[in-house]
Structure 1
Amino acid sequence: MQESLEQSDESIGLRKLVLYREVVFTEAGEAVVRPVQRASVAAVIRNPWVGSGPSADLSMEQARIAPVLAQLLTDRLITSVGGADEIEAFGKAAIVGTAGEIEHAGALIHTPYFGNLVREFLQGESIICFADTRAEAGETLIVPLWHKTHAATRSHYQTISARVPDAPRADEIVVIAAASTGPRPHPRIGDRMTDPVVTTETLEVVPS
């Protein structure tokens, strides 16, 4: 974690970083209470496991690469939205190229070497919601987000689209960290903590 950025880039096979950021000011013709920023940062890296086979041990490269990615992505995410304390919701994702296994995507994001550090850097407590897939270059992935400390807060259930036009190449993986500084525009569908109890027995009419 202390090595220079240039050394980190080379060690993980980093080809490019892609930052996407949007600011929502109005919805349905009305201004939101406060503008909300949504952002994602994608790292395109060489897949270290291409050709290794389904019985290969992924743990060594996982422990080496994932912490570097966690810091690389969150540093830029934090900078893009004005600070970790501005972030209210977060998510993670990965797209593996066609020469890799879907497990290769999971090996980088479904691990404490990535998830625990992303959570710490973004000052969160919740489990980080996620998406992963295998695809050709240019595939759009919908990254889900939810509240970073109160996962049951339904107002913060939202998504952001992430896409790198020329990635992943067959032997690459795209790893994504995403965040939002607030809820959906005009949230008003209640909250899991205050919802009434709803079962087939409490409903007067149950769809058949």
Structure 2
Amino acid sequence: MPEVKIRKRLLILEEILHEGGPAAATPRKRGAILAVVENPFAGRYVEEIASFMDDLKPLGLAMAQDLIAALGVPPSAIDGYGKGAIVGAAGELEHGALWHVPGGYAMREALGDAKAIVPSTKKVGGPGTRLDVPVTHVNASYVRSHFDAMEVGVPDGPKADEMVLVLVMTTGPRVHARVGGLKASEIKGEDGLR
């Protein structure tokens, strides 16, 4: 398979103090790291694409480690995550699915035995396309206070023959979360759901 050719990387960091109510005792951090890479399958149909996932694994791990460092907290403080991909117009949606394993397993490894599946989204679009990346708790997908999304995009990407690969991590629940459901303190840690 071809090597992964990166054109640029972006880092987005947020610190959320409040959402209109009282200021949080500890601000919530939300971060995303994006890599704009060449899509080796753009412009033609290729039957065997799955092996490119192995080529993306080192990029996934490097992005996960860099995002943790940028958030400035130990991995144990990160309790929400998600991933996504935007495929340029000469590609197909299935090319974005190549990010599932390298992106998801990289975050789970970097965070140390996270149990929940990493939520994901993908779409085909041109430069400036925005993507809402879903976020759930790293150990139990049903923890309602951590249901979230982070909007990301690249002003000049993806070009038709590129893909934008995205990882998102968060610390803590939504600021002012108060709609019930399973709490983080109630996680059993048996199946990644509850």
1:99 aligns with 2:77: no
Aligned partner of residue 31 in structure 1, secondary structure: coil
1:155 aligns with 2:155: no
The amino acid that maps onto 1:115 is G
Aligned partner of residue 176 in structure 1, secondary structure: strand
1:118 aligns with 2:107: yes
Deviation by residue 1:80-120 (Cα, 9 ceiling, x = unmatched): 1123122110000000000001100112x223x43222211
Aligned partner of residue 77 in structure 1, secondary structure: helix
- The 5-angstrom pairing of residues 1-208 of structure 1 reads 11-53=3-45, 55-64=46-55, 66-82=56-72, 83-107=74-98, 109-111=99-101, 113-123=102-112, 124-192=114-182
CA distance in 2, matches of 1:114, 1:163: 17
CA distance in 1, matches of 2:103, 2:69: 19
Superposition CA RMSD, Å: 1.6
* TM-score under structure 1 length normalisation: 0.82
Indicate if the aligned counterparts of 2:68 and 2:75 stay in contact, CA closer than 8 A: yes
CA distance in 2, matches of 1:37, 1:168: 26
The amino acid that maps onto 2:177 is P
CA distance in 1, matches of 2:140, 2:81: 11
CA distance in 2, matches of 1:14, 1:141: 19
Aligned to 2:192: none
Indicate if the aligned counterparts of 2:82 and 2:135 stay in contact, CA closer than 8 A: yes
The amino acid that maps onto 1:60 is S
* The structure with more radius of gyration: 1
Instruction: Tell me by how many angstroms 1:172 deviates.
Output: 0.1
Instruction: Tell me by how many angstroms 1:192 deviates.
Output: 4.1
Deviation by residue 1:47-72 (Cα, 9 ceiling, x = unmatched): 0111341x5200222222x2022112
Aligned to 2:188: none
Runs of 5+ consecutive residues of structure 2 not aligned to the other structure: 184-194
Aligned partner of residue 51 in structure 1, secondary structure: coil
The amino acid that maps onto 1:104 is H
CA distance in 2, matches of 1:44, 1:188: 37
Identity of aligned residues (%): 33
Runs of 5+ consecutive residues of structure 1 not aligned to the other structure: 1-9, 194-208
Q: Which runs of structure 1 show a deviation greater than 3 angstroms over 4 or more consecutive aligned residues?
A: none
Farther off after superposition, 138-147 or 119-128: 119-128
Kindly tell me the number of residue pairs found equivalent between the two proteins: 180
